[in-house]
A and B are shown apart, each in its own frame.
Chain A
């Protein structure tokens, strides 16, 4: 017989821990890795935090299909609309502040104060990029002065599907600083989260899934960066590659693979110091994945 509820109420409250096993984020869904693998994430002192999916080559392939499918509508949306959608993501992130702070603090081994500062900066960074959606065209495009009876206009257009290797150190602020500039201009993204610090990326996936970002615009893979990155770098249907979080010894070979299929590339220069993610980023990460279309139009006499 079960104990009576009266006696249970008097006992000290103990709960079984609900240990988490997270999944990937592909095409707006949360599938398990096709490989069935997962690995353990621990905090800096070695305490168990969660199991996460260990993405494989085929998961990367599925993510590319999802990102490609999402690209026409996302890149075709008005810049104003994209800005609104991204601002909404920042709102949802704000609602999950406490969870982000816990994760960042545990994974990066920093105090709560510092973690709170990083999370606040991440939300602000997202809003900062959202604001750029309908302004970047004026900065990098516009009317060109030409000697002839023509209007000559340059317009920036998104490159396409961009694979992003998120920074290994800064689990949330660094992550936001590489995703937001890629998608704000209309690209769709496949993100390989930090290998040992992926939890904020998973929580961000949950925020994206419950905001207005269309399915497939951002796809998040967790797992071994070196294993997955190779297949994205050589994939013909990926148009851009951001190597920010690439293991140092792989940057050259991944860049060579990207060149083999004519990808736009953002790679850290050799020996460069770790970026200071708190400083204002500039527009370099946005323009890295933009193509310039120039149109000539007769002016009439």
Chain B
């Protein structure tokens, strides 16, 4: 007997997502109990071990030509972000100009990966970036709290897609996740993923776990798997709107999750730490962690991004320092 799902097509997870999810969790039924069984059956994260591993990776010293390559790679992975209530069209245009040519009067500096804005500013960013390969990412689904009905979240997403956003950064319902309503979170992510592909659009979906609110690293691992089950293209740490944003141990756990997911399914999911990464030194620590955890296949803007605003200036200053042989100062980079 076939049960017909009464929801409109746009809100239903695609058959392919459901088939993959059933295969991975090894259950014919997809409900709270089956998801809990799978997520709580994942190997636990040794919190002390994860912190020690992250701290160990952070001591790696990178010099000269490797450093120059790493800085350029990091610049090309930046999602240049402005998510303020006070954002204006002018500010977004200025940000886009910087995205296109990060270093003043120097065209051999790589461009950033994307510009990340609220979805009402997507048209402004698209216009400013026209003709380039810099992507426009929009935050949707009642960012940053995610406290809205599913209809509102889907409308929010659909508007961003209609405006032409190449990437959608959605937030999960942390309340539902922490209360154990995994199916609700799964369906919501799957529905947004479906909306990203509505009307022939091919927008990438980044799922923000808001790890600062998930309390434990076990939860981070579970939330990462839940997002990947539901069809995320990227898992992202944070909104940048809560006190604890991206940390190296959290990113390490997420990188382990995408590595394990790849071993299981052959699919490579991206990782995006966001918020709190301000120095080039920190960025290099993340790159080392990516290479040592997920592997060099992840060292590309398609699979690893930094969500940041002030980080770019420090990367540029370090780049200048390498080029000129003396310390650079903030007077020589643009203030955004």
Contacts and interface: CB of A to CB of B under 8 A. Distances in A.
| A in complex with B | yes
A237 B329 contact: yes
A237 B326 contact: no
Contacts of B325: 234
Contacts, number: 27
Nearest to A230: B326
B303 to A, nearest CB: 33
A262 B74 CA distance: 30
A285 interface: no
A37 B331 CA distance: 32
B330 to A, nearest CB: 6
Most buried by B among A64, A231, A234, A236: A236
B330 A234 contact: no
Interface string A56-94: 000001001000100000000000000000000000000
A235 B329 CA distance: 7
Interface string B312-329: 000000001000011111
Nearest to A57: B327
Interface residues of A, number: 11
A155 B80 CA distance: 39
A237 B317 CA distance: 11
Nearest to B320: A236
Contacts of A237: 327-331
A261 B330 CA distance: 13
A68 B325 CA distance: 21
A235 B326 contact: yes
A221 to B, nearest CB: 15
A261 B332 CA distance: 10
A236 B331 CA distance: 8
Contact of B329 (A231, A236, A257): A236
Nearest to A236: B329
Contact of B332 (A68, A234, A236): A236
A98 B328 CA distance: 42
Contacts of B331: 236-237
Nearest to A237: B329
A231 B324 CA distance: 12
Interface in A217-256: 231, 234-238
Given A64-B327, A234-B326, A236-B328, 16 more contacts: A61-B327, A68-B330, A231-B326, A231-B327, A234-B325, A235-B327, A235-B329, A236-B320, A236-B326, A236-B331, A236-B332, A237-B327, A237-B330, A237-B331, A257-B326, A261-B329
Interface of A: 61, 64, 68, 231, 234-238, 257, 261
6 contacts: A64-B327, A235-B327, A236-B327, A236-B331, A236-B332, A237-B329
Closest 5 A-B residue pairs measured CB to CB?
A237-B329, A236-B329, A234-B326, A235-B327, A236-B328
